[in-house]
Structure 1
Amino acid sequence: MTKSIGIPELAGVATYAQAARIGYSVEENVKRLLRIHWTERRLMQTMWAHLPVWEVKCALALDQWYCAEHCDWLRRRVKEMRHPTPPLDQPPNSELDAFLEEVLRAQNPPELVAGIYGVAFPALREAYFNHIQHSNPLVDHPTRRFMRFALLEVAEAIEWGEKALAALTRDETVAAAVWEWRDHLQLYLESAKGIAGDPKISVQEGDGRRGTRIRPLEAPLPPPRASEPFTPDFEPQRDERFHGLYNFEFPPHVVYSAPDVPADERNLALLSKRTLEMDVPEAMASFLFERKDQPWQFYLDYSRQLWDEARHAMMGTVAFESRGVDWTQIPLNVGFSLRLNGHATAQERQILLYAIEQSLMPGETGKRFEYETAVAAGDELSVHFHDYDWADEVLHAQIGRSALKREGITRDEAIRKGQEIHERTWQALEQYKSREPQVNWWPGFVKKVLGKESAVANKSLPEARIVGE
């Protein structure tokens, strides 16, 4: 053996003994990566297909982006190891796809969280962990490196899911139904031999409520829910804390840029607009799910933007929480996602989103103006948030421009079409206005939060040119 001079060998990635272990062959490695990739991709699509309660929406927005990032890493690694590249846009295993089809069929938020965070993600964590443990640490270092990042993110998602599921299943009847759903999914997962195709002799499960049991691997599969084509419901949802979902009067769209309104009130309008932005990822999720024929870059880019838009809504909630304001009492109407998801094609939703992004670029009315408004108001937290919001929106404009360019749609054409789509879908909201009174709530809100009369009280406000972010 070579004499050591005390410096760790092999760049510290392994000892000589560890690196001498025979791990997965390239063929076996690629087979496993294809299955893991398909799982991440289908879970990403499942998260787009459901628009549940607010806090679950926030987590899905984050984790669909994590799934997209993991998919991208996996795709690149597969391409490095195999030429020609094996198919990446079709299921590598029918039993695995059957399991993922069942996860998609969740019928309510508890089932959705249980399926993704209680069954699929733990199985994915096991697949990543096993790969790291059994692959050679030297020859397969590139795979192991990104899997360590993926494992961390999946573990964080599972931790959130456990807490969320505990909150969603306080009712014993709901809890029992969720356990039945988890058992259903577990059988399909076992039939697929797990995410990566690892055979098991048996599956041992245990918890404080049901004790421990051993279930044979070959247990018969229950009838699938995926017996008919899946039809998503893209009507936005809110829980009982919210009100004013169909009150489409939203003065902040105009107040934030009104020249005769003081900076503190305009800043309050901006924070209200940020909080309203949750309906943007709701619209994005629908066109991401429905546009199934796009190149991979389309899904990767827009998954990031979807997470950014959800973060912007969260920024608004943080700002109000820091002021001690119950932000669920703001009439956060669902008009944007409602009119687009129900009254525009998937491509039209994408075009309008780009048109809005472009409208935010001019310095005198766009994101620079919003940032300067927060500065003028002396609100350090708002300044911090709008600094990053501005940077995000520049990226989003680039994403939209690149996506539409691939389809032969120019910037000017998109802006013209976007205005047409806005006007047509805005008229479609008339049919929903009878669900709630259309009232101007802004003066009362300003009085409550700022302790003074609104500068636009008793004034008629013009209609916003494009109503969105």
Structure 2
Amino acid sequence: MSIPALAGVCTYVEAAQPGYTVEENVRRLVRCAWIQKRAMETGLYWLNPTPEWEVKEALSLHLYQDAEHARLIRARVSEMRNPPPRMDVSPDLALDRFFDELLAARDTLEKIAGLYGVLRPALLDAYRAHYGGSNPLVDFPTRRIVRFMIVETEDAVQWGEQALAALTETDADRQRAEAWMAHLRAYLDAAGGIAGDVQPPDQLPAPRAAGDFVPDFFPQRDDRFTGRWNFVFPPHEVARTEGVSVEEKTLALMCKRTLEMDVPEAMARMIAEAEGMPWEYYVDMARQLWDEARHAMMGSVYFEALGVDWKHEIPLHPGFALRLNQHMDALDAHAVLYTIEQSLMPAKTGKRYEWETAVDAHDPLAALFQDYDWADEVLHAQVGRRWLLDAHKLSRDAVVKLGQQRATESEADLAQYAAHGEQINWWPDFVRRVLGQESAMHDYALGTADPVYRAAE
């Protein structure tokens, strides 16, 4: 019997084959770190104005993965060179010209075609080539992280292929997508591709990008969300009102989870406008953004399991993101988010209370979702303390006071958008259809506020 040598990493023959030098390895990785950074920023810029819910879900996941991949690359580069090369500046202005063109996408079809039909497949090819070009023994640390990034990038590319197929059902759409992808590939090739080893084309198509990119942080919903401008949301009150059954409270909690897509939308602007922060900030905040998107997905899964047409029946309005993105600066917006997180910590009114409510309702799916929602908020409170309190040298009391003040003041700001849709109390009819009983909130007065942040004392 022959015991595998070299810890099973490779054979002696494979380990004896030349691979990238450290210099070449670092050169390629520095480019990839910058590309992943720019891909993350693209997701942040597109999360709000892209109206399709499914695209918001994917952007939330993939921008978090972009931040994580950049973190892994930056750490590996720092292991190989001291001092490490700067990774907060562009290694190639031609790469930035490619991203300028990518950000000039006119609609969702072009966004998906560019990000998932051009950039991510090119990244996947580059990571596979890097894995194959590295010596499996001496460069095991790089191959380990690249292997991980290949798996996640493969999943992102697969999602993109399916999304693009759904968006290009007509010949005209397919032709438009192909033309845009050809345009972007030319600009990526002009930068030498992902790794900088592609022969640039002799001529480039005329650029579409004109001037500096101006991000749009106005949150949008597509036409499937018929109540998207109805800011009346009784579940905020229902979930914490005495005398309401645990079944109705649990239904309200699941509505609140589904509504949470407006938190990633608000966080996208906070992260995108942050300046001078260490890379760990982007990783932690992008992780929270993805967690908040998962919470919205938990709610949608719950209602799909019940057979409820949640896009039509629940007014999933973007009011929270509207208030924070359009009527506050980024620091005030983060203070509001932190204040809400603090209000969710007390056992009698916070996340433990929400989990116990679902348990008491004998609803195992809702209980599972609330259990993990609670777990996520424990992390989010730490993220807020690290990157708001500690980073800005602010006290908890000062931030909570500011958050409560700005949250209260901004409630009135929704009035200027209310004319876009009818403001009605939809809750009694919804409870009747889903639970087959009358709501205990028969005296509910129309209102738009979420009172939860007031509890952060």
Same fold (TM over 0.5): yes
Which stretch of structure 1 is more off in the superposition, 172-181 or 373-382? 172-181
User: Could you tell me how far 1:382 is from its partner in structure 2?
Assistant: 0.4
Report whether the alignment pairs 1:340 with 2:340: no
Whole-angstrom distance in 2 between the partners of 1:340 and 1:227: 28
Whole-angstrom distance in 2 between the partners of 1:288 and 1:156: 24
Which stretch of structure 1 is more off in the superposition, 231-240 or 94-103? 94-103
Identity, % of aligned positions: 52
Q: Determine if contact 1:336/1:467 at 8 Å carries over to the other structure.
A: no
User: Could you tell me how far 1:233 is from its partner in structure 2?
Assistant: 1.2
Q: Determine if contact 1:254/1:461 at 8 Å carries over to the other structure.
A: no
Alpha-carbon displacement from aligned partner over 1:317-343 (angstroms, at most 9, x marks no partner): 000011111110211111100111111
User: Could you tell me how far 1:225 is from its partner in structure 2?
Assistant: 2.8
Whole-angstrom distance in 2 between the partners of 1:123 and 1:311: 27
Matches within 5 A, 1:13-28: 13-28=9-24
- Report the 3-state secondary structure (helix = DSSP H, G, I; strand = E; otherwise coil) of the residue aligned with 1:49: helix
User: Could you tell me how far 1:349 is from its partner in structure 2?
Assistant: 1.4
Letter in 1 for 2:282: Y
Report whether the alignment pairs 1:353 with 2:353: no
Whole-angstrom distance in 1 between the partners of 2:450 and 2:188: 50
Whole-angstrom distance in 2 between the partners of 1:40 and 1:326: 36
Q: Who is 2:235 aligned against?
A: 252
Segments of 5+ residues of structure 1 without an aligned counterpart are: 201-216
User: Could you tell me how far 1:466 is from its partner in structure 2?
Assistant: 4.6
Whole-angstrom distance in 1 between the partners of 2:35 and 2:412: 40
Report whether the alignment pairs 1:11 with 2:11: no
Whole-angstrom distance in 2 between the partners of 1:91 and 1:32: 13
Whole-angstrom distance in 1 between the partners of 2:450 and 2:104: 39
Letter in 2 for 1:274: R
User: Could you tell me how far 1:97 is from its partner in structure 2?
Assistant: 2.1
User: Could you tell me how far 1:421 is from its partner in structure 2?
Assistant: 1.2
Q: Who is 1:318 aligned against?
A: 301
Which stretch of structure 1 is more off in the superposition, 429-438 or 144-153? 429-438
Q: Who is 1:37 aligned against?
A: 33
Q: Who is 1:271 aligned against?
A: 254
Whole-angstrom distance in 2 between the partners of 1:187 and 1:464: 49
Whole-angstrom distance in 2 between the partners of 1:49 and 1:178: 20
RMSD: 1.4
Alpha-carbon displacement from aligned partner over 1:78-106 (angstroms, at most 9, x marks no partner): 00001111101011111122212222222
Whole-angstrom distance in 1 between the partners of 2:453 and 2:156: 33
Q: Who is 1:207 aligned against?
A: none
Whole-angstrom distance in 1 between the partners of 2:203 and 2:446: 64
Equivalent of 1:374, from 358, 373, 386? 358
User: Could you tell me how far 1:28 is from its partner in structure 2?
Assistant: 0.6
Q: Who is 2:278 aligned against?
A: 295
User: Could you tell me how far 1:424 is from its partner in structure 2?
Assistant: 2.1
User: Could you tell me how far 1:219 is from its partner in structure 2?
Assistant: 3.8
Alpha-carbon displacement from aligned partner over 1:438-458 (angstroms, at most 9, x marks no partner): 111000000010011111124
Q: Who is 1:421 aligned against?
A: 406
User: Could you tell me how far 1:296 is from its partner in structure 2?
Assistant: 1.1
Corresponding pairs, count: 448
Whole-angstrom distance in 1 between the partners of 2:69 and 2:143: 13
Q: Determine if contact 2:230/2:424 at 8 Å carries over to the other structure.
A: yes
Moved over 4 A (4+): none
Whole-angstrom distance in 1 between the partners of 2:326 and 2:57: 22
Q: Determine if contact 2:323/2:411 at 8 Å carries over to the other structure.
A: yes
Report whether the alignment pairs 1:445 with 2:423: no
Q: Who is 1:199 aligned against?
A: 198
- Report the 3-state secondary structure (helix = DSSP H, G, I; strand = E; otherwise coil) of the residue aligned with 1:382: helix
TM-score when normalising by structure 2: 0.96
Whole-angstrom distance in 1 between the partners of 2:349 and 2:90: 47
- Report the 3-state secondary structure (helix = DSSP H, G, I; strand = E; otherwise coil) of the residue aligned with 2:353: helix
TM-score when normalising by structure 1: 0.93
User: Could you tell me how far 1:246 is from its partner in structure 2?
Assistant: 1.9
